[in-house]
Amino acid sequence: MKATQKVDALLNHSSEKQQKNVDSIVHDVLDFGDLLLISSKGHGKTEALKTLASRFRAIPNTRVIIFEDFPKWIHEFQAIPFMRIRDKDVIETEHTINLEDVFLRHDKSFTVLRGPEIEQALKEHRDIIFLLQTESIEKTAFFIYSIVKHFYRIAYLRAYKGYQKHERIVFFVEESQNCFDSSTISKKIFNRLRKIFSVARNLGLHFVMASQRMQDLNPRIRARTRLMLGRVSQDDYELKIHRLLRHSEHRKEILEFNKGEWLYVAKDKKTKFPMLPEPQYKPYEICKPKILVRTERQPNGLKEKFMSALGEKFFEESEEDEEETEWDEFLTTEEEWLIDEEEW
Ligand SMILES: Nc1ncnc2c1ncn2[C@@H]1O[C@H](COP(=O)(O)OP(=O)(O)OP(=O)(O)O)[C@@H](O)[C@H]1O
Ligand SMILES: [Mg+2]
């Protein structure tokens, strides 16, 4: 065998091995529940997430829903539809509640608009990226919650009605500390997300998340996920990781990991992640904002004008969300359709 052939054979062998390691992590996530990647800036979190997402996409009955706020996936990932959510698509509403013993209480809540477009996108496309151009962490978290909740309702009803279909949804959340830390988002959104998170795996809903520091995530979330650690910052190492890896062979080495090297903590296995090859086709935008054409009839009256300016709602926070028992009563025909549908 010539030297170049030997090098090729070695490279093929190592990339096959890398692929196998990635696939074993992917299947572990589906069996176990969730995955959290922690590494300092620029170590390769997004690259690793992209590799994982591409492997999840290859599994039947498995949908991948990606949320990003910095436009990276929409430029670099493979062919996948993406939908832009603008700041004005998530509006803030304020209830003023007067309880008997309380002088005044303000309660902030949100509403996600463009309902028909979002539902259509989720119905038509198996996998999707949501590019979130929302300007506050709370709006971003609320939008993610609204999509997760949408799938949770469907999965809950399927389970409730004893349907056989098993569909798995894998949510990719970059900068997950923005959604899963009660100090950065309102307690109400956090508690609702956490509630879904704690039962999600039993309903085939999985979270793959990334964050720069372990200490930024709420301990209740952290404790429930499997971990993949890259090179971490010294303070995170001293505060959390050092203790977590007390029985690990790679305890010291982790501070010297090269880009793309990860420790899968559950198995104490070091894995080099491959870079995703340059894709042949790029992501493409769906539901581009329409150019409004003036129609003959203009909305009449204040209420009609207001509702027409808002567009239709996808998700509105309401107290009924607290109750989780009689879902079928809230089921829209759209959701019945989704549940009965066997194919995407
Ligand atoms: N598996 C890998 N092998 C070799 N180089 C890699 C690998 N993954 C990432 N890199 C290099 O590191 C750079 C940064 O990767 P990436 O954007 O994924 O990091 P990140 O952890 O998501 O950064 P940030 O914290 O800023 O979001 C890439 O542009 C690439 O050059
Ligand atoms: Mg990144």
Q: Is residue 3 part of a domain?
A: no
The whole-angstrom separation of Cα 30 and Cα 58 is 13
Instruction: Decide if 7 is inside a domain.
Output: no
State in Å: Cα 41 to ligand 1 middle. Answer: 8
Q: How far is the CA of 46 from the centre of ligand 1 (A)?
A: 6
- Can you spell out the DSSP letters for 66-120? EEESSSSHHHHS-S-EEEEEEGGGEEEEEEEE--TT-S-EEEEEEEEE-HHHHHH
The number of distinct structural domains making up the chain is 1
Distance 313 CA to ligand 2 centre (A): 31
Residue 218 has pLDDT above 80, yes or no: yes
Residue 2 lies in a domain: no
Question: Phi and psi at residue 171, in whole multiples of 5°?
Answer: -95, 130
- Distance, CA 129 to ligand 1 centroid (Å)? 19
- Residue-wise pLDDT for 95-149, tens only, equals 666 666 666 666 678 999 999 999 999 999 999 999 999 999 999 999 999 999 9
CA-to-CA separations, 250 to 45, 56, 183, 217, in angstroms, rounded:
19, 27, 32, 23
The verdict on residue 292 lying in a domain is yes
Three-state SS letters, 269-305:
EEEECCCCCCCCCCCEEECCCCCCCCCCCCCCHHHHH
| The predicted structure's pLDDT at residue 331 | 46
Whole-prediction pTM value? 0.85
Q: Which of 25, 43, 213, 271 to mutate to test the pocket of ligand 1 (most atoms within 8 A of CB)?
A: 43
pLDDT band of 332, cuts 50, 70, 90 = very low
Residues within 5 Å of ion ligand 2, judged at the Cβ atom: 45-46
Containing domain of residue 285, as a range?
A: 15-340
| Both structure tokens of 32 | 């176990």
Per the domain annotation, does 70 fall within a domain?
Answer: yes
Q: How many CB atoms lie within 10 A of CB 120?
A: 14
Mean pLDDT to the nearest integer, 307-323? 63
Kindly report the number of other CB atoms within 10 A of residue 152's CB atom. Answer: 21
Q: Which protein residue has the closest C-alpha to ligand 1 atom 23? A: 42
- Strand 226-229: give its sheet, edge to edge: 269-272, 261-264, 226-229, 35-38, 205-211, 168-173, 62-68, 128-133, 81-86, 284-286
Sheet of 105-113: strands edge to edge?
A: 90-97, 105-113, 313-316
Best mutation site among 216, 259, 261, 276 for ligand 1 pocket (most ligand atoms within 8 Å of CB): 259
CATH of the domain at 68: 3.40.50.300
Domain assignment present for 10: no
Quick one: DSSP state of residue 42? T
Mean pLDDT throughout 235-245?
A: 93
User: What are the structure tokens assigned to 143, written together?
Assistant: 């939008």
User: Which residues, including other chains, have CB under 8 Å from residue 156's CB and lie 6 or more apart?
Assistant: 203, 324, 327
Q: Which residues pair with 94 in a beta bridge?
A: 108
Domain annotation covers residue 8:
no
9 domain residue, yes or no: no
